[in-house]
Structure 1
Amino acid sequence: MEEKRNGLRVILFPLPLQGCINPMIQLANILHSRGFSITVIHTRFNAPKASSHPLFTFLQISDGLSETQTKDDVMSLLAQININAESPFRDCLRELLLESKESERVSCLIDDCGWLFTQTVAESLNLPRLVLCTFKATFFNAYPSLPLIRTKGYLPVSDSEAEDSVPEFPPLQKRDLSKVFGEFGEKLDPFLHAVVETTMSSSGLIFMSCEELEKDSLTIANEIFEVPIFAIGPFHSYFSASSSSLFTQDETCIPWLGNQKDKSVIYVSLGSVVNITETEFLEIACGLSNSKQSFLWVVRPGSVLGAKWIEPLSEGLVRSLEEKGKIVKWAPQQEVLAHRAIGGFLTHNGWNSTLESICEGVPMICLPGGWDQMLNSRFVSDIWKVGIHLEGRIEQKEIEKAVRMLMEENEGEKIRERMKVLKDEVEKSVKLGGSSFQSIETLANHILLL
């Protein structure tokens, strides 16, 4: 049955990355369920599948990206698309506002914090803009101070100081910083400054998080950005992300899991962006094989540098892996993590994946690739204590040891018990009267009054 409409339309504009599109489409579903009509403006590159969301209007704009540029690293891609998309976005938004009917007024724009021009465009058209942050609030709070941390002299880090904490950014360790900043260094500073400035000028900041996970950080976010804060996550607890996947999902993994014992399978996925070397790929393969544990392994085509898919695996290693596991190109992750057969998740610790794992009570083995993943993994292993951190050691012995510990040993059982407690806490947030549930109502009322 069609929900009662409130006469207002919300414009959404996701960044064209899987980890940004999923939350934006989930947010669209949440707002639609509260009576708002939805229009999604999106780029040609990584366009969401409109046919999967028949209740929304989708409008594509030019992004000016060449085939070569679509294969750039994330920061280079974001820099270029922020230049190319501004004029087409402005034209599209202006036309939408001109067409806006009295019976259905455009209330606001909600876009990803990684768009740097949208605040200026929205202001020029007298349209309120809200910001969606797809990172942990704790990480986003560090945006103003990351340039300062970079100049503190923590890098390069000596072996004796590797495990020292970063006083300005707990619980990060100094060895984490090189992967937070990656190869970009001071090139990040203008981007971070622009994100902070445009967020502070917005009409509100939406986090896919909840008070149960980071109450103090949400309070701090309010003090830093001085705009209304809405922590309405985990989004996927309300609406699945599977229908907004940019990749074709291999559904055969679900019946395969159905033939496995409860909590006997380790799920392995490094997400939609992380790439690894052929050597690292082989180390993971050998570690999984030697662990003698059942596994479901997502190997995204092109994720192994220099290979199309799993060609680096020898025939003998493939046979060994097939005895206990299944390798797929992509999986319906929410469905997989919710399956009774899954007992652990070897993950890159993107915030989407981390939240999904917590919500299904699945303990983690942390292998972060960079950026906010470094912080997420520290919370998983050091603060919440619901996972094992590989500390960047992509070595078969370390992987075998971590998998066995999580799946077979007493320490793994303790981790599982702590995860159950955390899962129960987060579950409360999305139920009637919970912090996220109430925050959604507050957000809906905020948009009504814009």
Structure 2
Amino acid sequence: MFFYLKPRLMEVSTETRMQQMTGRRLVVFPLPLQGHINPMLQLANILHSRGFNITVIHTQYNSLNPSKYPHFTFRPISDGLLETPPSTERGRDLLTLLNVNCVAPFRDCLAQLLSSVSEEPIACLITDAIWHFTQAVADGLKLPRLVLHSGNISFLAFAVHPFLRETGFLPKQDSQTEEPVEALPPLKIKDFPTMDIANPEDDLYMLIDGMVKANKGSSGFIWNSFKELEQPALATLRRRSIVPLFPIGPFHKYFPASSSSLLAQDPSSISWLDTQSPKSVIYVSFGSLATFDETEFLEMAWGLANSMQPFLWVVRPGLIPGSEWLEPLRNGFLEAVSGRGHIVKWAPQQEVLAHPATGGFWTHSGWNSTLESICEGVPMICSPRSNNQMVSARYASDVWRVGVQLENGLERVDVERAIRKLMVESEGEEMRERIMCLKEKADLCLREGGSSYQSLESLVNYIFSF
């Protein structure tokens, strides 16, 4: 799958490294979505703590606030969205358009940084994996590019798309959705993104194909994961790849919790949790992009109510298209859960998951949320909505066995059953024991001699080899 020979990883002494580090700059380019901004800025902080200077190139869309990161230099570029906004609200349309509109502005900005005599020499470029156009730009400017995969090592699920097309598994057929993919156990056909394979102009097809092809030419992959969590997938990828792989996560555990949230966090989340019993609350949040129709939303609501468990529910404005916020919650729902349920527009998630009252997490299975839940020992209910969320949910339910996946839609009876299984039944207690073992491994991997500690050392050394 990957056949590009890159510089050999070399050991560099601490003294030599410190001498080389003086004046070394890294340029990072985050994708402007919440679940991608967070890990990129966390990675930038990690590398800054190792002595590197950081320049952040960012789009006008979801523009970053430089005042939150005074130790970084920020360079905004035009993304053309004011002139040519996406035709729909689908994320794939936005990402496709950004990969077209940002080519020239990004290339010009990077070329200016490279030629500036007032800037330190640039060691390499680090971009989100979805910025596939940046590989050609980096090659043209003779600058090494490292790729940050903000998801788990389920990138394999995207790289295997050619195989699935050739073998007829894609496009999906109703009769095939439950079939396992022998090349990538335990995944099933339904765990892969839906796309129109018959149409090579399909935007998701082109986005994934462009990402896979471009990333083959990179100088290495950085993962927000750790060896002990994804050992088989990591081993498979290493057999297929010549470029180095650096699983150095979990990123958010390197420093005290800090927020790069694009939404205002409601502090009442924590004060309300303070009034609840230990491990009693189910925390419900589906990230910054997921949407549900009104029927699904009401089934979720009454499943929560009927479970009789205390809950903290993040209902983000825009979660139900066409509604401002809680308008669909009619017919006495709020009265039925008064004192037992707390609803906010956005919550400080890391603090919520770390709170003693939180006993379960109903999630969309985004990788950041999945990893944060593992790191706090909180078992999950998984309702994946798109892309690699399905893969994360499959691993949580079938491999690590720390979650319950709602695979057959959202019916209030199934929601109630899943909550009670997780929160009060023996099966949930067994999940809690297993996830506490993963939490311990996550803690150990970052300590001196741990797998992520060693991988970060290798990454820093590798950057000096360019």
Per the shorter chain, which TM-score range?
over 0.9
- 1:89 corresponding residue in structure 2: 106
- Paired residue for 1:140, among 132, 152, 155? 155
Q: Contact conserved, 2:379 with 2:431, CA < 8 A, in 1?
A: yes
Q: Contact conserved, 1:157 with 1:174, CA < 8 A, in 2?
A: no
- 2:381 corresponding residue in structure 1: 365
Shift of residue 151, structure 1, vs aligned partner: 5.4
User: Which consecutive unaligned segments of at least 5 residues does structure 1 have?
Assistant: none
Partner amino acid for 2:100?
Answer: I
Partner amino acid for 1:181?
Answer: T
- Paired residue for 1:277, among 283, 293, 311? 293
Shift of residue 208, structure 1, vs aligned partner: 0.7
Question: Quick check: 1:413 aligned with 2:429?
Answer: yes
- Paired residue for 1:27, among 34, 43, 47? 43
Matched-pair identity in %: 51
Measured in 1, the distance between the counterparts of 2:400 and 2:287 equals 22
Change in CA separation of 1:128 and 1:429 when aligned onto 2, cut-off 3 Å? same
Matches within 5 A, 1:96-245: 96-101=113-118, 104-137=120-153, 139-150=154-165, 152-154=167-169, 156-158=172-174, 162-177=177-192, 180-181=193-194, 187=202, 188-239=204-255, 242-245=258-261
Q: Contact conserved, 1:182 with 1:371, CA < 8 A, in 2?
A: no
Measured in 2, the distance between the counterparts of 1:376 and 1:211 equals 16
Matches within 5 A, 1:271-420: 271-314=287-330, 316-420=332-436
Shift of residue 241, structure 1, vs aligned partner: 6.3
Change in CA separation of 1:183 and 1:326 when aligned onto 2, cut-off 3 Å? farther
Measured in 2, the distance between the counterparts of 1:283 and 1:6 equals 57
Q: Contact conserved, 2:196 with 2:205, CA < 8 A, in 1?
A: no
Measured in 2, the distance between the counterparts of 1:370 and 1:247 equals 21
Measured in 1, the distance between the counterparts of 2:314 and 2:155 equals 29
Change in CA separation of 1:71 and 1:28 when aligned onto 2, cut-off 3 Å? farther
TM-score by length of 1: 0.93
Change in CA separation of 1:22 and 1:37 when aligned onto 2, cut-off 3 Å? same
Partner amino acid for 1:396?
Answer: R
Measured in 1, the distance between the counterparts of 2:57 and 2:285 equals 29
- Paired residue for 1:434, among 450, 455, 460? 450
Shift of residue 433, structure 1, vs aligned partner: 0.9
CA RMSD across the alignment: 2.0
- 1:252 corresponding residue in structure 2: 268
Partner amino acid for 2:352?
Answer: V
- 1:18 corresponding residue in structure 2: 34
Change in CA separation of 1:156 and 1:85 when aligned onto 2, cut-off 3 Å? closer
- 2:7 corresponding residue in structure 1: none
Matches within 5 A, 1:35-46: 35-46=51-62
Shift of residue 174, structure 1, vs aligned partner: 3.4
Measured in 2, the distance between the counterparts of 1:245 and 1:150 equals 38
Matches within 5 A, 1:40-79: 40-66=56-82, 68-69=85-86, 72-79=89-96
Greater Cα offset, 224-233 or 381-390: 224-233
Shift of residue 216, structure 1, vs aligned partner: 2.7
Q: Contact conserved, 1:12 with 1:24, CA < 8 A, in 2?
A: yes
Measured in 1, the distance between the counterparts of 2:143 and 2:376 equals 38
Q: Contact conserved, 2:197 with 2:205, CA < 8 A, in 1?
A: no
Shift of residue 428, structure 1, vs aligned partner: 1.2
Measured in 1, the distance between the counterparts of 2:117 and 2:433 equals 52
Q: Contact conserved, 1:131 with 1:204, CA < 8 A, in 2?
A: yes
Partner amino acid for 2:215?
Answer: T
Measured in 2, the distance between the counterparts of 1:164 and 1:184 equals 18
Shift of residue 106, structure 1, vs aligned partner: 1.2
Higher relative contact order (CA closer than 8 Å, sequence separation 6+): 2
Change in CA separation of 1:23 and 1:404 when aligned onto 2, cut-off 3 Å? same
Q: Contact conserved, 1:268 with 1:346, CA < 8 A, in 2?
A: yes
Change in CA separation of 1:132 and 1:364 when aligned onto 2, cut-off 3 Å? same
Greater Cα offset, 165-174 or 181-190: 181-190
Q: Contact conserved, 1:100 with 1:106, CA < 8 A, in 2?
A: no
Measured in 2, the distance between the counterparts of 1:346 and 1:421 equals 20
TM-score by length of 2: 0.90
Measured in 1, the distance between the counterparts of 2:331 and 2:197 equals 39
Q: Contact conserved, 1:41 with 1:58, CA < 8 A, in 2?
A: yes
- Paired residue for 2:97, among 74, 80, 90? 80
Measured in 2, the distance between the counterparts of 1:315 and 1:432 equals 56
Shift of residue 53, structure 1, vs aligned partner: 1.0
Change in CA separation of 1:108 and 1:15 when aligned onto 2, cut-off 3 Å? same
Measured in 2, the distance between the counterparts of 1:274 and 1:390 equals 16
User: Which consecutive unaligned segments of at least 5 residues does structure 2 have?
Assistant: 1-17
Measured in 2, the distance between the counterparts of 1:184 and 1:288 equals 38
1:223-264 superposed Cα distances (whole Å, 9 cap, x missing partner): 334211111011111135642111111111111111111101
3-state SS of 2:339 partner:
helix
